[in-house]
Structure 1
Amino acid sequence: MSIPGLGQIAPQAPTSTQRTINLRPFGEWRFSIPHQHSTFSSNSSAAGVTVRLVAGTAERDGTELTPHKDYTFLPGTKSKLFTDQGCTLEINNTGGYPLEDRVVEYPHPEQSPMVSYINLHFGLEDYERAAAAHHAQHPLPHQQQGRQGGGGPRPKPGPRVLVCGPHCVGKTSLVKYLGALATRMGSQPLVANLNPTDGLLSLPGTLSAAVFGTLMDVEEPAGGFGVSSTPISGPSQTVKNPLAFYFGREKAGEDVETWKQMTERLAVLCKRKLERNRDVRVAGFLVDTAPVDAGDKEGQELLAWGVRQFDVNYVVVIGSEKLKTELGQRFASEKTSFGEPVTVLGFDKSDGAVQIDKGWRQKSTETAIKEYFFGGIKARLSPFTQSASFDELVVFKAPDDPYEGAPVLERVEITPEMAHWTLAVMIASVTDSPQAIRFSSVLGFIVIADVDVERRRVKFLSPVSGRLGNHPLIWGRWPEPYLNLLA
């Protein structure tokens, strides 16, 4: 059979591999399902590896599994299931996927890095309780009307945590874990991502943030941070409204000044959310970052910029004692706007953390783009193929090699080279200045399917119907067009 955007899918024999795994307390089942199988299948029961919790308790990145319920994990998933009390899992590899997995257990539970992560959660929870008590005594300015003493000191927010470390040590997993535990306790933390290589409820190439007030979906390919949890991508039990800025490059170092300005803009809007929402203010921030190594002065400067913009008071370093020492010295004399010290904490990386190579990341980026337009196993979407004249679309592009004094955006003519690129639709007007357009937030994305120069027509794929109106488009440098969605 053929599915638009995915080409031919060869039928597979319904092979089945079923087994049972018993985990001791603080044990982990680590698994990886390769990308070579299609994310989509005509037989949903054979779309991935199915796991059922038959005894005990287990969780994925802080979100608990419901006993005796089947959870399906799709190709392209690298993750783990953790238990603090011990559990029995049934694994059903219906489609015969080349599943790579292993059990990680420790002779003594206290040897597990998860113990320190749980203790970190409890420490942040204590800080949050103190912030709630302080907030009760010093309400936000717009809540002080009619109260004696209005206009007093600002109520101190909850913990503002930035997680950092080298490549593949579990930074994003820890952010997910802390966010999920906070949500399970009834909190509403604001989670931000400053790493354009990944996407937080948005496509890669963006910097984004969202309030996590509902439980994450255990089956999300990205553990709850995937694009299928966004309203634009269809129905979901964990819909979250992300605020996204389109950086359009893979790494911050490719355009440091633009990254800094976008980080500053994102932080301003996030802090505004804290000022207006008591629950979010008490819960605080969780900030994910790009990899950085000890001795990397440029990377540490970008971390310091994020710490200052988000008024961070806890820097969590995973997997590098030397980096923890360097950052401890760097922030030793710094204070937040509330007079708090910037505390640097060091944690070991999990023994189950795995390396992710360039090929895997490319496949993950392709999967995220497919998921954005076509949905996943839970919600199949039908994107709209639309046509527009060259005159109806206004496209801007950032300079290929930014230099001091270069324009942030330049208007460009539509050319055949745009075919198969993903363009960002901005919440701005075509009459706005390039500066305003560049640092506006993202409305959504389209993919250019075909450019007909003779007819001066563009065919593009959109997740929703309707004209683009006067919204400008930005053509970035990344993600590159690895695939043709309409092939």
Structure 2
Amino acid sequence: MADKEEEDTRPMKDWILVQNSELRLEVQNDNSVDIQLLFGVAEIFGTEMAKNMRYTISNQAKIAIFTDISCTIRILGSPDIAYVSTDTPMHIYRNTHFALEHLRRTAQQNDTFGPKVMVCGPTDVGKSTLCRLLSNYAVRSGHQPILVDIDVGQSDISIPGSIGVLPIERPAGIEENEFLKPGSLVYHYGHNNPASNLKFYDTLVSKTFEMYQERCKENPTNKYSGCIINTCGWIDGSGYKCLLHCAKVYEVDAVLVLDHERLCIDFQRDLPKTTSIIRLPKSGGTVVRGREFRKNHRNNVVREYFYGKKGSLSLFPFSFEVPFSEVSVYKIGAPEVPESCLPIGATAEDGNTQLVPVEINKDLVNRIVSLSMATSLEENVVSCSSAGFLCITAVNTDAETITVLSPAPSPLPRKFLLLSDIEFVDFK
């Protein structure tokens, strides 16, 4: 966010929004626009806009500027898509917030846990947006909910292939399009789909609940504020079983289902009667994202982890060599041993959460690894949180060194590296 008073020669248009309407904008590829609230009151996914402040919208952003009173919005530049709609479910989402607000107040009065809410639905129905909206409203009401993101394909807390827990203390930034992340806990999963290792995925979900409980013991405000859980869009078969596992582990008070009647019916059948199953409509501004878009988005998220947002000079990653002797690389999950290879009467061990050593060679180039917080193998490396992520950019087998791209300078604070399927080619 910044004041931008210099002369601007770009096209300018003022949009007048009536009560309970929203201005929907899409900015694609390398395009960017500035938006400014001239009159009235407006918000973007629950974050209030400051009057007369210019915000730059870029990085393939898709936003909706909503007003519950009326407002005038100025756009400088040429958005790829811009239109006003009065067909918005915002009043329903706001009523959902008010219901959660009542539960938080009751929790504070009775010294109990605040509402635990899980947001579910197929892909491209606005789950992440609704989680952000409800989190922002909660913070603006004086609470500090915990956001749990188990969507390993499009994580909003860290990079793809990870699961995160984030205490929310202030509304998300408009230009940054994300929450500040001090105090976040991130766990290595290593794949962008739960199907790659269902047992390990469920193990990590259970681990996030343990951490949520620990956080609530330390901070009563978090306890009374509850948590909001963002989930994957895989809702059939084993994907539904993962959702059910999460709901049961957290003993969620409410499941918010976006745009999927059958999923509501399934939850009503399989969850306790004390769990509220609420079907919500998706926004008409929700955009369907293709496979190529998702791939590019994941790559952009990793790039931003190291370099910051496009056009920003806020992050300067480090590149340095690390001797083979100073690191140990592992992956999580071993292939199943065929029954025919086992001794008579023996049963195969579950290798889904097994730590498997990985040989350091050129196959690791361009792979993302997480730096485990574990200090020894005696600790549970598999379920330890991550200190951060590195990209292996080169492997020199003769000198026995790897070159890594790192957000922090040498030396590495830990030695255990967990290999992921996520790749990143650093073109600077």
Calculate the TM-score normalised by the size of structure 2: 0.90
Q: Which amino acid aligns with 2:167?
A: V
Q: Name which of 286, 307, 314 aligns with 1:353.
A: 286
Q: Distance in 2 between matches of 1:456 and 1:298?
A: 42
Q: What residue is the counterpart of 1:309 in the other structure?
A: 249
Q: What residue is the counterpart of 2:198 in the other structure?
A: 256
Q: Distance in 1 between matches of 2:137 and 2:154?
A: 22
CA contact (8 A) 1:384 1:462 kept: yes
Instruction: Tell me the percent identity.
Output: 25
CA contact (8 A) 2:150 2:163 kept: yes
Aligned residues: 408
| Pairs within 5 Å for 1:436-455 | 436-455=380-399
CA contact (8 A) 1:200 1:209 kept: no
Seen in structure 2, the aligned counterparts of structure 1 residues 118 and 130 have a Cα distance that, compared at 3 Å, is: same
Q: Which amino acid aligns with 2:366?
A: H
Q: Distance in 2 between matches of 1:431 and 1:398?
A: 13
Q: Deviations over 1:311-336 (max 9, x none)?
A: 211011111122212211222xx26x
Q: What residue is the counterpart of 1:103 in the other structure?
A: 84
Seen in structure 2, the aligned counterparts of structure 1 residues 379 and 160 have a Cα distance that, compared at 3 Å, is: farther
Q: Distance in 2 between matches of 1:432 and 1:157?
A: 34
| Pairs within 5 Å for 1:148-163 | 156-163=112-119
Q: What residue is the counterpart of 1:119 in the other structure?
A: 95
Seen in structure 2, the aligned counterparts of structure 1 residues 355 and 79 have a Cα distance that, compared at 3 Å, is: same
Q: Which amino acid aligns with 2:18?
A: R
Pairwise CA distance, 1:347: 0.9
Pairwise CA distance, 1:400: 7.3
Q: Which amino acid aligns with 1:247?
A: Y
Q: What residue is the counterpart of 1:138 in the other structure?
A: none
CA contact (8 A) 2:28 2:58 kept: no
Q: What residue is the counterpart of 2:362 in the other structure?
A: 416
Q: What residue is the counterpart of 1:186 in the other structure?
A: 142
| Pairs within 5 Å for 1:383-394 | 383-394=317-328
Q: Which amino acid aligns with 2:255?
A: V
Q: Distance in 2 between matches of 1:248 and 1:461?
A: 18
Seen in structure 2, the aligned counterparts of structure 1 residues 385 and 324 have a Cα distance that, compared at 3 Å, is: same
CA contact (8 A) 2:135 2:171 kept: no
> Is residue 319 of structure 1 aligned with residue 259 of structure 2?
yes
Q: Deviations over 1:183-213 (max 9, x none)?
A: 0011000110111012232111111111101
Pairwise CA distance, 1:366: 1.6
Seen in structure 2, the aligned counterparts of structure 1 residues 257 and 288 have a Cα distance that, compared at 3 Å, is: same
Q: What residue is the counterpart of 2:122 in the other structure?
A: 166
Pairwise CA distance, 1:429: 2.1
Q: Deviations over 1:318-367 (max 9, x none)?
A: 11122212211222xx26xxxxx111011111111111111111221121
Q: Which amino acid aligns with 1:461?
A: L
Q: Distance in 1 between matches of 2:40 and 2:336?
A: 55
> Is residue 21 of structure 1 aligned with residue 15 of structure 2?
yes
CA contact (8 A) 1:192 1:200 kept: no
Which runs of 5 or more structure 2 residues have no equivalent in the other structure? 1-7, 338-348
Q: Please state whether the residue corresponding to 1:175 is helix, strand or coil.
A: helix
Pairwise CA distance, 1:378: 5.2
Q: Distance in 1 between matches of 2:163 and 2:418?
A: 15
Q: What residue is the counterpart of 1:77 in the other structure?
A: 61
Seen in structure 2, the aligned counterparts of structure 1 residues 442 and 129 have a Cα distance that, compared at 3 Å, is: same
CA contact (8 A) 1:370 1:485 kept: no
Q: What residue is the counterpart of 1:234 in the other structure?
A: none
Q: What residue is the counterpart of 2:344 in the other structure?
A: none
| Pairs within 5 Å for 1:41-440 | 48-93=32-77, 99-106=80-87, 112-135=88-111, 156-220=112-176, 223-225=177-179, 229-230=180-181, 240-293=182-235, 296-331=236-271, 334=272, 341-376=274-309, 377=311, 380-399=314-333, 405-406=350-351, 408-432=354-378, 436-440=380-384
Q: Which amino acid aligns with 1:167?
A: T
Which runs of 5 or more structure 1 residues have no equivalent in the other structure? 1-13, 38-46, 107-111, 136-155, 231-239, 336-340
